[in-house]
Amino acid sequence: MGLNTVQCKQIDEILQANGYSDYQWIDPQKIIVAQWVRMKCMFGCGEYGRGGACPPNTPSVAECERFFKEYADALILHFAGRMNQPEDRHAWSAKINAGLVKLERAVFLAGYPRAFQLFMDSCCFCKTCTGNRETCEQPRMARPAPEAMAVDVYATVRQFGFEINVRTDYDQEMDRYAFLMVH
């Protein structure tokens, strides 16, 4: 880790002040980036090409891998939720993602200029996304999800002891993970 104990404690206090308690410090070199994740985005996700923070509006897999190598410290934040209807996920995600943007800003203002948040789900701020970073209506808020950065979320979070499973029905609780890149 690049941060010392005092710096980690300072960021822990920011997390706790913002209501986050289910998280873990990780070595970002252990974040698993894989081409298959991008393929699942391209061929299986209805948001591919329609989200300003989704592929193809994100870096290549090789560039994503290089991005994570630039960090020595990161956090995984866990969010569990159960939806009554499939469409409820977007409102839930937008609320959490808005809080994550505030968290990133608080960490940035505390003296960590490299702070960068990866959302726990697609952006979800606008009812209709322009699908283009240049015409994004919320460019200061939009961030990619880990999957948009080719992160194998399942393998990555499991190696740190987090629970994650494929849901087979919408009445099951889902586990979502955000990553805060710090230093």
Peptide bond into 59 cis (omega under 30): no
CA pair distance 34, 2, nearest whole angstrom: 25
**Burial of 114 (C-beta count, 10 Å sphere; 0-12/13-18/19+):** middle
CA-atom Rg of the chain in angstroms: 16
Task: Give the range of the structural domain holding residue 146, as residue numbers without chain letter.
Answer: 5-181
Structural domain count of the chain: 1
Identify whether the C-beta of residue 23 lies closer than 8 Å to the C-beta of residue 78.
yes
* pLDDT computed for residue 47 by the predictor: 85
* pLDDT beyond 70 at 23: yes
* pLDDT computed for residue 1 by the predictor: 65
CA pair distance 104, 22, nearest whole angstrom: 16
**Burial of 74 (C-beta count, 10 Å sphere; 0-12/13-18/19+):** buried
Structure confidence by residue, pLDDT tens digits, 50-109 = 877 989 989 999 999 999 999 999 999 999 999 888 888 888 999 999 999 999 999 999
